Structure 1
Amino acid sequence: MNSKLNIVVRVDLDHSKAQVIAKGHITIHSVNALYVVAKRAKSLKGGLDLELDVSSALVDQEALDMLRTASETRHLPAKIDPAQVPCTISVLAGRRHPRPSAGRLAA
Structure 2
Amino acid sequence: MESKLRVAVRLDLDARQACLEVHGRVTEQNCRVLYVLARRANAALPGLFVVLDLQKASATDGALAALSHSSETGHLPVLTGGLIQGTFAPRQLSVLAPAA
Q: What TM-score results when the alignment is normalised by the length of structure 2?
A: 0.85
Query: Runs of 5+ in structure 2 lacking a partner?
Result: none
Cα deviation, 1:10-51, whole Å, max 9, x if unaligned, reads 111121100011110110000001111111111121110010
1:66-105 aligned within 5 A: 66-77=66-77, 79=78, 82=84, 84-87=86-89, 88-95=92-99
Between Structure 1 and Structure 2, whose CA radius of gyration is higher? 1
Query: Runs of 5+ in structure 1 lacking a partner?
Result: 97-107
The residue that corresponds to 2:21 in the other structure is: 21
Q: What is the Cα-based RMSD across aligned positions, in Å?
A: 1.7
Query: Is the CA contact 1:13–1:45 (under 8 Å) kept in the aligned structure 2?
Result: no
In 1: Cα distance, 2:39 partner to 2:46 partner: 11
Q: Which moved more, 1:36-45 or 1:80-89?
A: 80-89
Query: Match of 1:4, as an amino acid?
Result: K
The residue that corresponds to 1:34 in the other structure is: 34
Aligned residues: 95
- Runs of 4+ residues over 3 Å off in structure 1: 80-84
Secondary structure of residue in 1 paired with 2:2: coil
Deviation at 1:95, TM superposition (A): 4.0
